[in-house]
């Protein structure tokens, strides 16, 4: 069974498509619609399959371009000098992401007044608009984010409030694992159980697809940072595994 980082990486590779470029032993995930978003412009996998090199790091940075960027450094990455190479190139420690796992057990009961519906390609704009708003992305990125609704391997949902889209979330499944992503709720609809309903729907679909390892991630807990998503994930039976540090380079 692939580990959590591998499942997440395959989900990203699927969604990014031709925008996911193998470079320097890692994968550069590129989102030109959001050059200021390090969350969307990322380099993953450096030093995991084989030890990273400075030349490989520079190749990956060239592939990502002059955007804001996170370099996600796995706890298993080699060599340990990778962090110092990033510092020498102007990177600083950013907000790391906690990886969570759970098995395919039935989710807990959910109470929400919202209707949970599967979102097909006809809802690409609604889905993308909510994701862009929830993550503070430019409006130009909404169509791209919404393309998850038609990407093979991905299933997307919306939570509706009186037929109006209020929240979104998606699931990627493959290789016996499932990745939960794109969870966002419009501010005016928070506190109504939207993400609980969307987590339950995704867990049930992962069970139907025979997935044995369910994976998600959110920002690590730290003072002054949002933690609602973190609490919801734990409430639905996910367990903390480890933090993947992100090294940040602001846009140039």
Q: What is the pLDDT of residues 92-140, one digit of tens each?
A: 999 999 999 999 999 999 999 999 999 999 999 999 999 999 999 998 8
CB 69 within 8 A of CB 33: no
Cα 60 from chain centroid (whole Å): 20
The pLDDT of residue 39 is 92
Q: Got the DSSP string for 19-37?
A: GEEEETTEEEE--TT-TT-
Residue 227: band (very low, low, confident or very high) from pLDDT cuts 50, 70, 90: confident
Q: What is the fold, at CATH topology level, of the domain defined by 115-241? A: Aminopeptidase (3.40.630)
Tokens representing 151 are 């990407």
Predicted TM-score (pTM) of this structure: 0.95
Instruction: Please return the burial class of 75, using the count of CB atoms within 10 Å of its CB with bins 0-12, 13-18 and 19+.
Output: exposed
Closest CA to 41 of 135, 130, 126: 135
Torsion of CA 7, 169, 242, 220, to 10 degrees: 150
The pLDDT of residue 50 is 96
The pLDDT of residue 75 is 96
The pLDDT of residue 244 is 97
List of residues 6+ apart from 250 with CB closer than 8 A: 38, 68
Q: Is the pLDDT of residue 1 over 80?
A: no
What spatial distance separates the first Cα and last Cα of the chain, rounded to whole Å? 40
- 10-29 tens-digit pLDDT: 999 999 999 999 999 999 99
Q: Is the pLDDT of residue 223 over 90?
A: no
With tokens 């003072």, the residue in question is 223
- 189-207 tens-digit pLDDT: 999 999 999 999 999 999 9
Which H or E element spans position 55? helix 54-64
Which H or E element spans position 48? none
Q: How many helices (H) and strands (E) does the chain have?
A: 7, 13
Instruction: Please return the burial class of 42, using the count of CB atoms within 10 Å of its CB with bins 0-12, 13-18 and 19+.
Output: buried
According to DSSP, residue 17 is labeled G
- 46-94 tens-digit pLDDT: 999 999 999 999 999 999 999 999 999 999 999 999 999 999 999 999 9
**Cα–Cα distance for residue pair 184/122, rounded to 1 Å:** 19
Residue ranges of domains in the chain: 4-99, 115-241
CB 91 within 8 A of CB 247: yes
CB 171 within 8 A of CB 180: yes
């Amino acid at each position: 069974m692939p580990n959590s980082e591998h499942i997440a990486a395959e989900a990203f590779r699927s969604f990014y498509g031709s925008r996911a470029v193998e470079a320097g032993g890692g994968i550069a995930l590129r989102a030109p619609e959001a050059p200021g978003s390090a969350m969307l412009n990322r380099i993953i996998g450096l030093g995991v399959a084989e030890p990273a090199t400075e030349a490989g790091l520079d190749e990956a940075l060239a592939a990502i371009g002059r955007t804001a960027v996170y370099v996600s450094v796995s706890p298993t990455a080699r060599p340990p000098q990778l962090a110092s190479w990033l510092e020498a190139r102007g990177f600083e420690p950013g907000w790391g992401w906690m990886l969570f796992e759970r098995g395919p057990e039935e989710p807990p009961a959910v109470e929400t007044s919202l209707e949970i519906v599967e979102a097909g390609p006809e809802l690409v704009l609604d889905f993308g608009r909510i994701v862009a708003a929830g993550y503070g992305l430019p409006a130009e990125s909404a169509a791209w984010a919404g393309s998850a609704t038609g990407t093979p391997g991905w299933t997307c949902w919306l939570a509706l409030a009186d037929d109006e889209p209020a929240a979104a979330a998606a699931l990627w499944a493959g290789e016996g694992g499932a990745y939960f992503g794109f969870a966002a709720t419009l501010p005016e609809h928070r506190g109504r159980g939207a993400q609980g309903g969307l987590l339950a729907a995704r867990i049930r679909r992962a069970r139907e697809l025979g997935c044995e390892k369910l994976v998600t991630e959110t920002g690590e807990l730290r003072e002054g940072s949002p933690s609602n998503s973190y609490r919801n994930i734990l409430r639905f039976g996910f367990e903390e595994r480890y933090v993947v540090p992100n090294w940040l380079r602001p846009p140039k």
